[in-house]
Structure 1
Amino acid sequence: MAVIKGARLPVTPKPGLRVAVANGDRLPTAGLCSHLQLTIGDEAFSEHFFALPLDGFDVILGCQFLQSLGPILWDFSNLTMSFWRVNRRVTWQGTEGNIRRACALISDDLLQSLIAAFEDLFLEPQGLPPSKSFDHRIPLLPNSAPVAVRPYRYPHVQKDEIERQCANMLAQGIIQPSTSPFSSPVLLVKKQDSTWRFCIDYRALNAITVKDKFPIPVVDELLDDLKHAHFFTKLDLLSGYHQVRMHEADIHKTAFRTHHGHFEFLVMPFGLSNAPSTFQALMNEVLRPFLRQFVLVFFDDILIFSKSWAEHLQHVRTVLLQLHNHNLKLKRSKCIFGQTSVTYLGHVVTHQGVSMDPAKVQAISDWPEPLTIRALRGFLGLAGYYCRFIHNYGTLAAPLTNLLRRGAYSWSSDAASAFAALKQALSASPVLQLPDFSLPFIVECDASGSGFGALLHQGDGPVAYFSRPVAAHHAKLAAYERELIRLVKAVRHWRPYLWGTTFIVRTDHYSLKHLLDQRLSTIPQHTWVSKLFGFDFQVEYRPGKANTVADALSRRNEEPTLHALSSPSFSFYDALRKKVAEHHAYADLHAQHSTNTLPAGWCYRDGLFTKQGRIFLASSSAFTLVALQIAHGMGHEGVEKTLHRLRSNFILPSIKKAVRDFVAACPTCQNNKSVHLHPAGLLQPLPIPARIWADISMDFIVGFPKNIVKLHGIPESIVSDRDSVFTSIFWQKLFRLQGVHLKLSSAFHPQTDGQTEVVNRTIEMYLRCLACDRPRSWLQLLPWAEFCYNTSYHSALKATPFEVVYGRSVPSLLPYTPVATNIEAVDLCLQNRDDLLRDARQRLLQAQQRMKTNYDKFHRDVSFSVGQWVLLRLNHRLAVGIRTKSNAKLSPRFYGPYKIVEKVGELAYRLALPDNARIHDVIRESSAVTSTRHHDNKFEILVEWKHLDKSDASWEDLSWFRAQYPSFQLEDELLAQEGGSVTDPHWGQVYTRKNKTHPDSEKI
């Protein structure tokens, strides 16, 4: 270009034209110089030349020019070339001064000679390093007491290793015996080569250390100095910390204690909070004359950069000489010399500039197409988190955000294009920002069953992504261990950013919140927490829903959708149809059906005989028991209500006795329902005290469910107790203005509000029966209990509450066969409702008279015999025998059955309670009721389903479970067949849903 400007040669512009040169670069051209006259020796030429920004030569003749000369004879030894032109031989002689030899031809010899000249830099250090002005000090906070943490307990094999390594460090002069009041514990961490790394847990000492604020280099500023650099060398110090002496006055603070002695470090150990600042200050001082000229220093990582090979060799020699003068040693295996591309501080550095490491954004590029709305939300949550870095984000994401509308999820070509465009935008290097060490880093981690994701960010932009699949041997670990391992891997992966800075770790695993305060008591903690020593960070807990980025990265590998293997079946009706077709009890009905002589109202539909929509079951049919189980199992109601519910769907001749026997023997009812007979046991008065306050009595009422309030509008009157809510001025005036009459009960007399007490007791009974196996699900079962109450037959009303309120029959939950329905006129419906209300009022009055007559009866006298099986009432022993539960109101009323082994006195009996029961085995007769048992052998097992909460565990028939999962090995199958006792971990509750001939309960 200088020749063109000096000679003022005409240049024809060629916009957009680039020319490939010998080193592979494509240089932009300023234009074309046509028909320039060139004279070499005695030969004249006319050629076209491109104007290029080249250094070193004014004109370069390319291959096109050499081809125009024809055959050429080369002599590289004498630097001559010969060719024929115009029938004569022309020979050109080269000059030594105008030839540049390629660095690749001589680089190895020169580089190896240079390294050999400083061979002593790669030798193991002998003795202590010399004392410098940067010897490490440990300033403590004012009035800080010496830190003395007792040592951990070590296995025998680790004790031998600790003794061996201490002996080696004593021989090297790194440590010495100590009498310091300071003491920190030792950790041994196993390395990949099966050797042990010796670590000190200095967390307690770091907590009282005054933090050093020495400036840590800003990486983006360092990388800006690499412009025009073509050659790079990276150096790494050998055990850099051990090349720094401890200050004489602070040696005793590094003391550590083992099982066999007390020692202290003479060199700077790993794990001290101010160690990175001390080391950076030392390296800056050693290489200060060359910083930003051709050297970058980030702790123990040294980068030498140069524009030319000759300069680079001189720069490498200068740095090695400086390290030699300060007696610093290098680790040969981690040093890289004379490269045109090198990875430094997480960036790929070449002569073209600095680019992001492709592995940093690979996690985004590999994201699969979302198959569900949940997966799409995860991807859009990640993309939206970085929308400020993506041009036209709203336009790109519109086809995907539209899919989030209810019922609109249908993957299309537009959605696929938008998904690919967003991935490309997220994966582009401008999204990732260079770190700023003046701002705190934030590491967000999350580990799922399929992968691990982490995000490093600060301020407004992300710095890097980190995502890995879960290793096979890690997938079997506990959740705490998996989260801890992923946290350590993320921190160590980003060590160039985090080392020597204070950063924040955000995780959705709550137990990691207290990581810095936990005592290291397990091998995984010793192994992984020790790798974080020396890092200065705080842990913040953030739920998974808020931790969208890391959570999305960890769960990007979606599990395939599994189709359900089960579906609703009607095996009862299928089997019943088969029985109807074969059983002799239905022979008469079949004959009548074939001759069209069925009684009025009867019909034969879908293989079943019905009358007015109810299915006929013969008295000898085996399906009677199944029908009883269905009707009674809905809410475990009493005889009359079960019978009414059964007859609303089935026709069963002479069924009342069967219902009475079935309900009496129902184990769930016996365990959970209150006994409405006269209280058992005669009165035994307490002794009269000789003085006042000699004997006292107290009671506490706990365990009531919360949030059971239903509003039904403003009533005409309210009966309530005398709670402060109802007696307040606000409450009184509110209802006075509304015209509502408040009726407060007498003090300590809940019978005033007896109707509400009865309803509450009934609802509690329903919930207790439905939720006894999983009391935490009572809220989900409350609507079902309400339905059971509203559709149950009330003896006082001679109808169900549903019929009284709505004036029509209860709709059947099981529409067995379609039947015709006549729609009555509105006025007739209203008239029937008025009649029902009048009857209800009359019957309620009669019921009140019966209740008044039966009120305040005497206790009944009961007795049991030795060997008899009874159920145990424990509601009055909750504070002694059982751990109080949050849903104690829904706990069973009775437990057992248990066998009476001895009669103690007149009113007490000794029971054979489980060994782990925490109550006395002698009980009064009022605490026991006779146990009635079924005689059919039926086994059930409690199944916890994968991917569901433990509260969703369900009782399943054992034979059905074996048929559905024949390859599943039941751990306690043998014990289930032989019989045993199932006990609660905190006391002796027995699950008595199993119906067995053997008196003991089954163990699952």
Structure 2
Amino acid sequence: MLVKKANSKWRMCIDYTNLNDACPKDCYPMPNIDKLVEAASGNERLSLLDAYSGYHQVPMAPEDEEKTSFYVGDEIYCYVMMPFGLKNAGAIYQKMVTIVFRAQIGWNLEVYVDDIVVKSLKADDHLTDLGETFNNLRQNIMRLNPAKCIFGVESGKFLGFMVSRRGIEVNPEKIRAIAEMEPPKSVKDIQRLTGRVAALHRFISKSADKCLPFFKIMSSPPLLTKAKDGEILYLYLGISDEVISSVLSYLSSPPLLTKAKDGEILYLYLGISDEVISSVLVREEAKQQKPIYYISSVLHGVELRYPIAEKAALAVITSARKLRPYFQSHPIIILTDQPLRQILQKPECFGRLIKWAVELGEFEITFQQKSAIRAQALADFIVECTLGAGALLIGLDGCRSEHALKFNFDATNNMAEYEALLLATGDGDQHRPKHTELEDPILSFLQDEIVPEDRQEAMKLRRKASRYTLLDGVLYKRSFSLPLLRCLNPYEAEYALREVYEGVCGSHVGARTLAHKVLKQGYYWPNMYKDATHFVQRCLKCQFFAHLTHQPAEELTTLVAPWPFAQWGLDLLGPFVKGVGGVTHLIVGVDYFTKWVEAWPLSSLTSKNVEDFVFSSIICRYGIPNQIVADNGTQFNCTSFRDFCSSYGIKLQFTSIYHPESNGMVESVNKCILEGIKPRLEQHKAKWVDELNNVLWAYRITSRTAIGETPYHLAFGTEVVIPIEIGVPSFRVTHFDEGRNGQLLRENLDLLDDLREEARLRTLVYKQKIANFYNKRVRPQTFKVGDLVLRKAGLTGFETRFGKLAPNWEGPYTVAEVPHPGAYILWDTEGNRVPRVWNVNNLKKFYP
């Protein structure tokens, strides 16, 4: 069986159930992932390596090769290298890499199966460490997958975590997987959500508290009821969104976890509630406490009735079991307001307490009365419901501006701080001075020789001031290109940019050119290029007259039909010279699976003609399709044709407006039909109707690259007899046996499913190659709801009034909805919906 991998390649999997049942279990211990991740952090340089084809680098013993046998068709094969699917494959491979890198593991390398990280405490030593690793790889003939290897980085993803010199961070992909989930509608959805949250439990304080409502639903699911639209709704209302929001709010600024140093003292804080016990292991550095590991567990059964002191003891024993390597190698100070030392060490304790005391006796544990948490290092660990926030702004002249904010929701300390910061920032912008001199410290130094009290700051100011001078009270900067550059304040800088950019002698140039022009005119201020970039980016005229973009903005989305004649693409082709019967257009239909083509000449473009074509040429011949894809023409996107499709249960899908690539199959067939008709007509263009069937026949019996077969063969299971076989009889015509012909045709039909499956796989590979080639040119551009965008003016006839002087873009519009990636529904400035769906290639971001 072929299984598609994450990199779009294929892996062959074989069912070795019987072989695995007969094999004894290899008890080689696998490394602890948490310890490997912690060991990989705290290094200046990392290289992340991936072994090529993993298990296939381990040779099989010759006498065991036949045990891996499998058959394909009538042929029998076996593996000479270790295949995927064997019970002991992981342990054997881990044993091999442990032997290969035994001199490096724990020193400058960590390895888990085929994931290898080369680490260096100092960046200067990294090449030496890599050289040692490559020597071991060469000596043992191990190969790496270059597409998955990353060399000489400061941070990277290892075993699902982001490791760097700073510590261990959450993998953003796991946060995105939770954020992009739909609200849970079933117990299975809730199990899926809690599973994703559980994968991040090390980073989430009180994770069990946050997910407790979900655990309750899974342990005793509430009643289900059916809504009118068929959606399953829980009577347990209002919980899901609240819990998801709280988790996502916490993960928006996840904590940075650090690793413990050998032998240092670690601190364990406990959190006890009615139904959950939690703890966090921290280390102290420079009088600041930094988290190492968060633990949380839900209480069950009799545990819910424990006294609070016994719950605290249970939190200690749970932490010790989960963090056993830390408890064994470090002294642990447990900070709690419960008398745990007296409870666990008193002679008369019995039952579970004496068992817990014995189990904790092997560790070096000290109990200490908890005081206030220093430096608020764990402020996000203790959740408080606050009422509001305040901000106080104090100016240089002593003026004060006080503001208060009251919340109508429960907020954590972090949330309150963010809200207060936003409040202060917004008010500060209103009070920002318009004419502040940016070089005040330099002016003070040059005029009065005033320097900061800090010695280093004073030296820095003297060095910086040596590049400046004062002339008649005006500050100038010594330049490499001109004698002196006048220093401007923000108000003067904005005036200079506007005058040079759009003044009488100005021109709408790029940001870099704009900054250079201002500089050459003899002016300077800090961040000139950054200010010029923002100014150019927000110029309305430049946005409307900007060059049209030709690079795709969204990766190619491939369409593959599930079975023959299930998905058809429709399009109109023309106009042509009027033919017999007054026909001027063609309606073309293409089956996405077999590439079979049907076409009708039309004299008028009406929805009734389209319905007749679908009924006569598609439904009556090949059955009712599952889906029809068409453009936004009025013949397709109308009430009549919608009702027609709905009456037969056909899903009607429309492509993005002015984006024919969305229905590329039909566009490709249209091109083939035109190329087939043109050479046949010569001077008699009106005879295109007579040549249509010949062109369609030629297309149907020509092998198509995507499927590797002719549409006729894939549709009917045999090849058609063509005229040349009558004029010059072929082998099958000469040796035609009427008696066996029927039997041969039935055998062909029996093999047709296999032929179609091969064509489907070949189509997938072909489309993936096309997508890979197309995606190399993609320049990603995405918008979210509420963003302002411009639309290509040429799509709506906006430029016809002005000819060559017309703008290239028009708008702005607001993104109202994102039906699927790369497609957008827009609102105009009055809040009215713009008709149809617009592709991202026809839009660009607008900067007000």
Q: Above 0.5 in TM-score?
A: no
Q: TM-score range by the shorter chain?
A: under 0.3
**TM-score, length-scaled by structure 2:** 0.25
Highest Rg: 1 or 2?
A: 1
Q: If the length of structure 1 is used for normalisation, what is the TM-score? A: 0.22
